[in-house]
Structure 1
Amino acid sequence: MSALSTTAVQAEVLVPVDQFLANTTRHYEANQYKTSYTVYVPQTELQGNAIVLNPAAVGEPVKLPTTSKNGITYVDIESDPAMLGVSYTKVNGQLTLGPAPQASTVKAPYTMQTPLSWAFDPWPTQGTPYQAKLNSSGDNIISPSWFKLHSLGLEASPNVSIDYVNDYKSKGYHVWPLITNRFDPGFTSGILADQSVWKKYAHNLVQYAYIYGFDGYNFDFENIDYADRDRLTAFVAYLSNHLHQYNIKTSIDVTGYSDSPEWSLVYNRSAFANSVDYVVLMAYDETWAKSTTAGPVASYPWVRNHTEKMLSEVPSQKLVLGVPFYMRLWHDTNGYAKGETLAMKNTGSYFANYKDKMTWDDRLKLYYLSIPTGSGSDRIWFEDNTSLGLKLDLVKELQLGGFAAWRKGFEDESTIAMIQGKDLGRGIPKSDTVDVPEPVVEETKPLTKLEQYKLRLEEKEKAKAAKAEAKRKAKEEKELAKRKAKEEAEQAKAEKKRQAEEAKAEKKRLSKSVQVVKR
């Protein structure tokens, strides 16, 4: 047994990384700077309520859950020390490490309270974490984009963070990381045909969930060959069934209905509803980013139509309405449009600058703006708090399982306030009362070294972006000046030519006059 050499973290299950590495029975690797570590956790097997860990079994890589306090790096072993290869006892606040047990315990089952309030976070290292729940009608979920399928197993982002998880869980959120297939049909076809790698994915997802404290996962599998439809359905069912045995929730994202084999027809939505806990309808991209015809991202009639149609395949309490925190600016030239994604938080500046040109489309339930340009027009169908609020009302009206927003960081505080004030109804399990937690007022503390470092990185990124923007503007101005100089040169050349022709004509006229005088 190894007693910890510090009392700085007696109240928490944190172990100095060097001491953890000296005691763990798991094989581990470090990066060249020894700032990140990977442990290899054996695949598990269920025996009743016990998770048996066989040290001789195949080990799957898991990024060590480390955190930094006062310049010291610790391993957070609280969630599942057995999988990490240690055990511990705590006496009078003093932690003592011991050898790893041969078994862990299955998490207790839990029931989600719908309607869910859910946000996708593809860039979890950027921006400020939510400080409160999005809505108190039901449970809240945050989905950081942390995992990709790989031909050799699960690929975890280097940004997987125990601090992120603990921060959101302290605010009442469930953390369900997003897993993507890279939107690569060729790659996806390969892994769907190789069931041996399915087992690696399933085991590794369980290990990450238990070590980091994830409550569930979100499958974002898109752009898949239609020929793989049945294999995709089987793959999702396999993953979901394995995770459910460990009381880990599952969900999958699906598009609305279209005639696209790879983006819509490939989804067996009714089969998904039988295997996962929630099906998220991505009710956006009504007009795709690469469309050459301008249009809205999520008009109300389009969203309602696809939602109601999907209710014929997915039970209402399992269907989650995906909503956009974004819109598109369309540069329309002679009927050919090119889209540019705009964050919803940019709406205010357009309302301030083009208030008189804004029109409300009562059929589409959104604001519309057309700005004339030299080559055509710039057009926007807006997503704002009004249009979003009307779509969120569908959650209560159709008794849906909740909403999920793509994506965190595209909204502002006014949108968060609007969502927090929405009555989304009460789902499953139903309750007569809603417990609204009192706001937590935290004492202001000086930034830690890690926070200062992150802040400096953010400032560098902002400066880099500002420099790039300035460079772009300078380039535009240079090109504009060049065009202007060229036009002026051409005008001067034309003027010089005109003057030369006039002088020539005048000379010819004078010559004729002289000849007349001589006669």
Structure 2
Amino acid sequence: MLKKLTAAVLLTLALPAAVSAAGPVPVKMKGGDFKNFNAYEVDGTFYTAPVVLTKGGKWKLSWEKDKLYVYLTPAAMKKEEKVEIPYKELEGNRYVDFSFFSRSAGLSYTYKPKKKELTVEKIKEKKEKDKKKEAAPRPLVLWDINYFFKNENSDFASLSGTHILAPTIGSYQDVEDNKYSWNFDYLKRARQAGMEVMPLIHNDFEVKRTSLFMHDTKRQENFISKIAALSEVYGLYGYNVDFENMDPKDRDLFTDFMKNLSQPLHGAGKKLTVDITVYNAGSPTWSLCYDREKLSEFCDYEIIMGYDETPRTSPYAGSVSSYSWLDRSIQKLTAMVPPEKLILGLPFYTRIYEGNPGHMKSKVLAMKDQEALMNKYRLKPIWQPDAKQYTLTWRQGGILHRTYLEEEKSLRAKLELEKNYNLAGLAFWRYGFEKPGIFGVLERKDDRQ
């Protein structure tokens, strides 16, 4: 993960009462507890009176100063939580998005368009022994820090597997202060595109403040209860925990925190993933702060941050993610963590290092901007067999510049490591850095080198 999420924009809780839509179509509701309610269809979405959502037996609702809240006790938790949900004004009354929230509220429905009939019933929970356990499709995670992803602008869906968007919700402190980033329309678009949403939560990469949080079980309990409720109400896939730069003395406390977080999430059928660096004995706060073996007992997946081989502050130029480095790193990690619990995270960026060796400074170069750079300076890339990457070296204003490119050939080489080590899936840092059409190229199995 990049060391600071400086580009993240707090959207705050984007849940205003929407402007009335033109031409809502009345829909007749059917089913034992629903005959006396009315509904509307707007652009393929069904809206009902908020009270309908209480009929699933999972939620209570309350209005507070023109805001609508769901009250529920998350799985495996003791404390009742409240979560705000949006509403829409139709025909002078307030309605909720039944299409989106019905399943989370414990309801299912069928619709007969010719008769304009919406039949609703309470979902019958299956007993554990009756639940069929099927192999989960390969997880594919796309970090999208600013909630910008739009399916029509990306070929992410061309990869085969479960497509998971990971926007940044903020830090644990943001959640505690109710200042986290949120976007309901984004959740709707993702669902309509058949994609899951797994928000990323970070620790601001602050050692001392994170240590205080790790030693405060009451704060952790309140935080866990809060985000567990949010995941249940909004039907999230789960969460991606990106805690970095921690005191290695707090390693076991972090493991306990993840264990406690896993209980309500797994109790509600959600997933828990944690981002881990490659193993580096010389980096205590960035690498030795994780008990990777123990974390695998409570997390569904550990996502390998397969980049930052040469860090931003390095005085020498180097690769962000060379094949040989990543290969060696995965070998070490699979000795600690079952490979089926490891997701390989790959970069859509590189770094340009400039200056004299030993005194170089760097800046990020997104994959999408590499071709323009080569054209501007008429650069010819040179293939490095060991790194399985092209390099560029040039002088600009008399100053030496060097970079290791990330493009189709280098990424397809690294993708082979997923197969070679039987890893669970892939992740990509990050949306907005990629070259258009890259996912379709990566999906092709032919011609790999």
Residue of structure 1 in register with 2:314 after alignment: 291
Asked if the contact 1:318/1:401 (under 8 Å) is kept, the reply is yes
Summarize deviations over 1:140-192 as a string: whole Å, max 9, x none.
Answer: 2111112421288374634332x322322333322211111222222221221
Matched, 1:215 2:250: no
Matched, 1:262 2:285: yes
Residue of structure 2 in register with 1:373 after alignment: 396
CA distance in 1, matches of 2:90, 2:430: 30
CA distance in 2, matches of 1:82, 1:368: 51
- Label 1:264 to 1:68 Cα distance change in 2 as closer, same or farther (>3 A): farther
TM-superposed deviation, 1:81 = 5.4
SS in 1 for 2:212: helix
Summarize deviations over 1:433-453 as a string: whole Å, max 9, x none.
Answer: xxxxxxxxxxxxxxxxxxxxx
Of 57-66 and 270-279, deviating more is 57-66
- Label 1:201 to 1:87 Cα distance change in 2 as closer, same or farther (>3 A): farther
Matched, 1:273 2:273: no
Summarize deviations over 1:254-274 as a string: whole Å, max 9, x none.
Answer: 011222111100100011111
Matched, 1:178 2:200: yes
Matched, 1:318 2:341: yes
Matched, 1:330 2:330: no
| Identity across the alignment (%) | 30
Summarize deviations over 1:413-469 as a string: whole Å, max 9, x none.
Answer: 23122123248xxxxxxxxxxxxxxxxxxxxxxxxxxxxxxxxxxxxxxxxxxxxxx
Aligned equivalent of 1:7, options 37, 40, 60: 40
CA distance in 2, matches of 1:377, 1:397: 37
CA distance in 2, matches of 1:195, 1:352: 55
Task: Spell out the pairing of 1:440-451 with structure 2 (5 A cutoff).
Answer: none
CA distance in 2, matches of 1:68, 1:413: 39
Task: Spell out the pairing of 1:301-450 with structure 2 (5 A cutoff).
Answer: 301-333=324-356, 335-354=358-377, 357-422=380-445
Asked if the contact 2:379/2:394 (under 8 Å) is kept, the reply is no
Structure 2 residue identity aligned to 1:121? D
Structure 2 residue identity aligned to 1:281? I
CA distance in 2, matches of 1:402, 1:230: 27
CA distance in 2, matches of 1:110, 1:209: 22
Residue of structure 1 in register with 2:69 after alignment: 39
Residue of structure 2 in register with 1:117 after alignment: 140
Structure 2 residue identity aligned to 1:183? F
Larger radius of gyration: 1
Structure 2 residue identity aligned to 1:177? P
TM-superposed deviation, 1:43 = 2.6
**TM-score by structure 2 length?**
0.77
Of 230-239 and 371-380, deviating more is 371-380
- Label 1:174 to 1:82 Cα distance change in 2 as closer, same or farther (>3 A): closer
**TM-score by structure 1 length?**
0.67
SS in 2 for 1:265: coil
Residue of structure 2 in register with 1:26 after alignment: 61
SS in 2 for 1:217: strand
Structure 2 residue identity aligned to 1:226? P
- Label 1:45 to 1:342 Cα distance change in 2 as closer, same or farther (>3 A): closer
TM-superposed deviation, 1:17 = 8.0
- Label 1:216 to 1:364 Cα distance change in 2 as closer, same or farther (>3 A): same
Per residue, is there more helix in 1 or in 2?
1
Residue of structure 2 in register with 1:248 after alignment: 270
Flag structure 2 segments of 5+ consecutive residues without an equivalent.
Answer: 1-33
CA distance in 2, matches of 1:8, 1:320: 40
CA distance in 2, matches of 1:274, 1:247: 16
Aligned length: 403
Structure 1 residue identity aligned to 2:232? Y
- Label 1:115 to 1:354 Cα distance change in 2 as closer, same or farther (>3 A): farther
- Label 1:324 to 1:82 Cα distance change in 2 as closer, same or farther (>3 A): closer
CA distance in 1, matches of 2:94, 2:310: 47
Asked if the contact 2:60/2:71 (under 8 Å) is kept, the reply is no
- Label 1:274 to 1:25 Cα distance change in 2 as closer, same or farther (>3 A): closer
CA distance in 1, matches of 2:382, 2:110: 66
TM-superposed deviation, 1:112 = 5.5
Asked if the contact 1:320/1:404 (under 8 Å) is kept, the reply is yes
